[in-house]
Structure 1
């Protein structure tokens, strides 16, 4: 009797979707929990602003070095086990930065923090793309919306802990414990995709394919605009438009909330209009928003501009990951390539904005953001790479061991599900 990869029924795929959404939320909550306690960590390690800036480069360095390993780990241990282990390492690494007594140890801690973040990021995005392909509808935007929701929840908890003047070592230990347990429970229901004996393992380190570089370029533009707006919007409103500190800070929170809502609602729009059209229209929105910021006569107009930037770039990175996952025979490798480029963009955006502002003005810096936002309009067509492969209808088949082979979409790096899942 012929055998083949399993067909997952609709209920099983829905469970897997909710499980991966919870994983995205946990991942974001770690980031939010850490970011709110950076001032405490700086004081604890007795760092100057320049030393802190150097240390904060190490998460991106660690992620860039480690992300190419994610595909090999998933191939060796299976998608579920790999995600469970990598996510646990990421949540537990939250405890390390607050323990660092000086610059050297903080850099080492943040390197590990970034490495585990990047590997778990690739693993969860690869599973998200696989579920999206099997469901034959867009889910990546809402998954990244759940990441943003987790970041907001983690930030809220960190803000409360900071307001209570609690020790960040205690706060992060409690947060890491709760998030680790939550992540392990969620991983119980993700798809357990495994390699078959005839599959060759992906290379541990390899340059991303050309398609991933092009897709990553679009992601670079979006993440640059996002990072610049998040990190500099409050400063822009205070320094350029003489806004009160409270209103300036509120604009940053509103920007993050706008992006989270747009991502949570983005899947329906993407399914109706397609990725290319959504990114192109988003690029127009972000470009218009950047222009409003540059020419804003008052704070309200600038805040409206930042909101348009957020709306315009919100779904770009999720769609870039989805396109990478469909761009070639090694989705995890392509996703890792796109993730590396976007991490790099997030790393250089704040410093690039500062450098341009020092050389010219902060207004000119957001002129650069506007130009990059227009790059989304020009580059949107590269997200046309591949179509979502049609998954069998719910109830059309069974899990592995059902007998007759059914046509199903291919899975990352030759991963296939073992019997029983």
Structure 2
């Protein structure tokens, strides 16, 4: 299960480091790039709510395996696009595979967590971040060496697809109970899941902005070289991975609400650093703080939503639809705001989102399975 999360993250990390190459290759403005980066939202939001029914019918192992393979293979497509319309189409496929595979593997994670009786979701998401760190590291080296992104992403797509096919066969075969009602074809989130998902909405906005725009920000605002700019993603992914690997133990010690509030505070501080930075060092430090701040929020959101719904896949699908709509819309919003003003102004919105996480942390307390038991007086 953990390796599957790592593969998913490696695809994201690989793509994120070559976004500046795509912008230069297609001679796209910030606004045009932002529009193209809206495409994954279209693909994902149209298909993600159906993931619960598909997982229920065919089983988590088969669905996750083939969707992971599709997601890995789709990594090669954006770099082959000769123009912006084709780039939009390829990114729509990319987003559909990403969203549905994410729902399937997180639903499996929630079920396994329930069966084990202890928190594992933060660690699984830590493996996602580790995969992003590895993918981003390879991408940084490729960008620094001036390797054509078409070659780099094609090789990564092939390697990751083969790994996904091999690892997918080893996944636990998590299936719904025989008497469980089949989810609807298009599952809308309940009110409870909606409220939980709004916290994820704010956190994923900051995460996606960091993923897709940190390298561009370092280049255009902080004056960094292409290699340093690409490395900023690796630094961002590193702090996310570190926070997630420690997250399960920290949540058990401090409690869900305290950890989410602390994450919101760190992310807000990081956003302020990014907005005010005009040199590479403070900008990279700001992105690292944002990564640390948001590291455990989404695992806690998915765990809470999975336990709040009729089935884990239904709850995860609802929370993921809300959260990832923000994640896929954020890169476009950042681009549009930058086109109208500056990238610094764009990241002021990211800072506001992290402040909203800080203020809204309390909604997870009743639905989290990872909060410590109350102390006896």
- TM-score w.r.t. the length of structure 1 is 0.76
CA drift of 1:122 comes to 0.4
CA drift of 1:290 comes to 3.4
Once the two structures are overlaid, the 10-residue window that deviates more, 260-269 or 377-386, is 377-386
- Measured at CA, do residues 190 and 252 of structure 1 come closer, stay the same or move farther in structure 2, by a change above 3 Å? closer
2:375 maps to what in 1? none
2:87 maps to what in 1? 106
Q: Which one of 209, 224, 227 corresponds to residue 190 of structure 2? A: 209
2:291 maps to what in 1? 310
CA drift of 1:85 comes to 1.8
Q: Which one of 335, 340, 358 corresponds to residue 316 of structure 2? A: 335
- Asked if 1:117 corresponds to 2:104, the answer is no
1:48 maps to what in 2? 28
CA drift of 1:139 comes to 1.5
Once the two structures are overlaid, the 10-residue window that deviates more, 145-154 or 187-196, is 187-196
1:352 maps to what in 2? 333
Once the two structures are overlaid, the 10-residue window that deviates more, 169-178 or 198-207, is 169-178
Contact 2:132/2:237 (CA < 8 Å) preserved in 1? Answer: no
Distance in 2 (alpha carbons) for counterparts of 1:145 and 1:345: 21
CA drift of 1:28 comes to 1.2
Give 1:26-37 correspondences, 5 Å limit. Answer: 26-37=7-18
- Asked if 1:136 corresponds to 2:117, the answer is yes
Distance in 2 (alpha carbons) for counterparts of 1:81 and 1:206: 21
1:393 maps to what in 2? none
- Asked if 1:88 corresponds to 2:50, the answer is no
- Measured at CA, do residues 95 and 308 of structure 1 come closer, stay the same or move farther in structure 2, by a change above 3 Å? closer
- Measured at CA, do residues 264 and 56 of structure 1 come closer, stay the same or move farther in structure 2, by a change above 3 Å? same
The 3-state SS of whatever aligns with 1:191 is: coil
Distance in 2 (alpha carbons) for counterparts of 1:225 and 1:198: 40
Contact 1:323/1:383 (CA < 8 Å) preserved in 2? Answer: yes
Aligned residues between the structures: 368
Distance in 1 (alpha carbons) for counterparts of 2:142 and 2:219: 26
Once the two structures are overlaid, the 10-residue window that deviates more, 128-137 or 171-180, is 171-180
Distance in 2 (alpha carbons) for counterparts of 1:324 and 1:112: 26
Q: Which one of 242, 245, 249 corresponds to residue 268 of structure 1? A: 249
Deviation string for 1:264-307 (max 9, x for gaps)?
A: 22121112222222101222222333345556798755554443
Compute the RMSD of aligned alpha carbons.
3.1
Distance in 2 (alpha carbons) for counterparts of 1:40 and 1:294: 24
CA drift of 1:111 comes to 1.4
1:157 maps to what in 2? 138
Distance in 2 (alpha carbons) for counterparts of 1:204 and 1:347: 23
CA drift of 1:356 comes to 4.7
Larger Rg: 1
Once the two structures are overlaid, the 10-residue window that deviates more, 25-34 or 155-164, is 155-164
- TM-score w.r.t. the length of structure 2 is 0.84
Gaps of 5+ in 1: 1-19, 390-421
Contact 2:76/2:157 (CA < 8 Å) preserved in 1? Answer: yes
1:371 maps to what in 2? 352
- Asked if 1:145 corresponds to 2:109, the answer is no
- Asked if 1:177 corresponds to 2:158, the answer is yes
1:279 maps to what in 2? 260
1:222 maps to what in 2? 203
Which has more helix, going by share of residues? 2
CA drift of 1:154 comes to 1.8
Contact 1:132/1:388 (CA < 8 Å) preserved in 2? Answer: no
Q: Which one of 65, 75, 78 corresponds to residue 56 of structure 2? A: 75
CA drift of 1:223 comes to 1.9
Contact 2:73/2:157 (CA < 8 Å) preserved in 1? Answer: yes
- Measured at CA, do residues 330 and 47 of structure 1 come closer, stay the same or move farther in structure 2, by a change above 3 Å? farther
Deviation string for 1:36-72 (max 9, x for gaps)?
A: 344555676x453354433322112101111112111
- Measured at CA, do residues 349 and 39 of structure 1 come closer, stay the same or move farther in structure 2, by a change above 3 Å? closer
Distance in 1 (alpha carbons) for counterparts of 2:216 and 2:79: 27
Distance in 2 (alpha carbons) for counterparts of 1:109 and 1:178: 19
